[in-house]
């Protein structure tokens, strides 16, 4: 299977969504309802089922977490420090740059690519690793930012009620405790989970219509190169140095090579800082990601 075979269905779904949004076939009100179904029902159920049914003996590994999160935090701090040295009086903007260079759209882009290229077992590895992804990077951004509004607990509260974090955590607990759910209930959940990946990619395409790269394309290009090339290289090198298996190294690298997730832009909007830069980075990294992920697939697989 070539990278084109793996990526074309994903690109096709995103492109179809973009055309539907651009032509007005999907209105803003319709998009909101579709987005709520995908992100609050289909994807959480999909993640719960995969975590609930995963073989934890094969996927649970502290070494995987170390191999992924150590270079991730290092890359964040390098980008943050570089931006802060250039503009010393704006830690908030430097924190948003750090987030833009490291936060991955794993569920919508990385996960479908990894499952298509490496199989369902590799998907289980992804679920284990991304449990802490948003919480760590968002918390780090809030801590390093000097322009937070409200208490620290108020800002972090949405992370602990995030449907992705909750669904993965609940599936992990049910799996670890060996909770047996009725087969009919599992069958119903499987039907709800069926449209998760396709729906997420379609919604991503429609959502891209809302963002622009005109205002901050130079910064967006720099951050996209950091996200799509520098970060995966760091994680690939670190995983290789630790002696991880080829499959584990490929999973971690492809996760890192995913484009910037739109939630990073939502954090910037909440902080009222670097909104144009992060919105442009979301679009540009998503547009460039088929090229970068194709290159990584050739190297890894």
Q: What is the pLDDT of residues 202-212, one digit of tens each?
A: 887 887 787 76
Q: Centre a 10 Å sphere on the Cβ of residue 182 and count the other Cβ atoms it contains.
A: 8
Q: What is the pLDDT of residues 124-164, one digit of tens each?
A: 778 778 777 777 887 788 777 755 455 556 655 655 666 77
Tokens of 58: 């094969």
Task: Report yes or no: 185 and 222 within 8 Å, Cβ to Cβ.
Answer: no
How far apart, in whole angstroms, are the C-alpha atoms of residue 166 and residue 225?
Answer: 31
> Residue 64: pLDDT above 70?
yes
Q: Which pLDDT score, from 0 to 100, does residue 143 have?
A: 77
Q: What is the mean predicted confidence (pLDDT) over 248-263?
A: 88
Grouping H, G, I as helix, E, B as strand and the rest as coil, residue 260 is strand
Q: Which pLDDT score, from 0 to 100, does residue 226 have?
A: 94
Select the more confidently predicted residue: 183 or 53.
Answer: 183
Q: Which are the contacts of 74, defined by CB distance < 8 A and separation ≥ 6?
A: 234
Global pTM reads: 0.76
Task: Report yes or no: 205 and 259 within 8 Å, Cβ to Cβ.
Answer: no
Architecture of domain 3-292: Up-down Bundle (1.20)
Q: Centre a 10 Å sphere on the Cβ of residue 266 and count the other Cβ atoms it contains.
A: 14
Q: Centre a 10 Å sphere on the Cβ of residue 23 and count the other Cβ atoms it contains.
A: 9
Q: State the sign of the Cα–Cα–Cα–Cα dihedral 231, 279, 286, 254.
A: positive
Give the domain ranges of the chain. Answer: 3-292
Q: Centre a 10 Å sphere on the Cβ of residue 196 and count the other Cβ atoms it contains.
A: 25
């Amino acid at each position: 299977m070539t990278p084109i075979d793996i990526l074309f269905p994903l690109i096709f779904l995103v492109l179809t969504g973009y055309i539907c949004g651009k032509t007005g076939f999907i209105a803003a009100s319709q998009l909101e309802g579709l987005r709520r179904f995908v992100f609050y029902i289909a994807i959480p159920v999909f993640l719960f089922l995969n975590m609930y049914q995963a073989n934890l003996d094969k996927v649970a590994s502290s070494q995987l977490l170390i191999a992924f999160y150590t270079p991730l935090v290092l890359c964040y701090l390098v980008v943050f420090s570089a931006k802060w040295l250039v503009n010393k009086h704006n830690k908030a903007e430097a924190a948003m740059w750090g987030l833009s260079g490291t936060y991955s759209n794993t569920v919508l882009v990385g996960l479908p690519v990894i499952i298509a290229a490496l199989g369902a077992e590799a998907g289980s590895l992804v679920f284990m690793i991304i449990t802490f992804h948003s919480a760590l990077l968002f918390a780090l951004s809030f801590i390093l930012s000097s322009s937070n509004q409200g208490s620290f607990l108020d800002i972090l509260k949405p992370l602990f009620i995030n449907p992705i974090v909750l669904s993965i955590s609940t599936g992990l607990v049910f799996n670890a405790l060996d909770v047996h759910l009725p087969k009919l209930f599992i069958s119903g959940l499987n039907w709800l989970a069926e449209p998760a990946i396709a729906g997420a990619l379609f919604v991503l395409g429609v959502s891209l219509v809302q963002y622009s790269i005109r205002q901050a394309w130079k910064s967006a290009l720099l951050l996209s190169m950091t996200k799509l090339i520098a970060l995966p290289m760091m994680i690939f090198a670190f995983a290789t140095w630790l002696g991880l298996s080829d499959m584990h190294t490929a999973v971690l690298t492809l996760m890192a090579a995913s484009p910037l997730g739109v939630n990073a832009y939502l954090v910037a909007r909440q902080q009222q800082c670097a909104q144009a830069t992060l919105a442009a980075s979301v679009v540009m990294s998503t547009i460039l990601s088929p090229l970068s992920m194709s290159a990584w697939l050739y190297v890894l697989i």
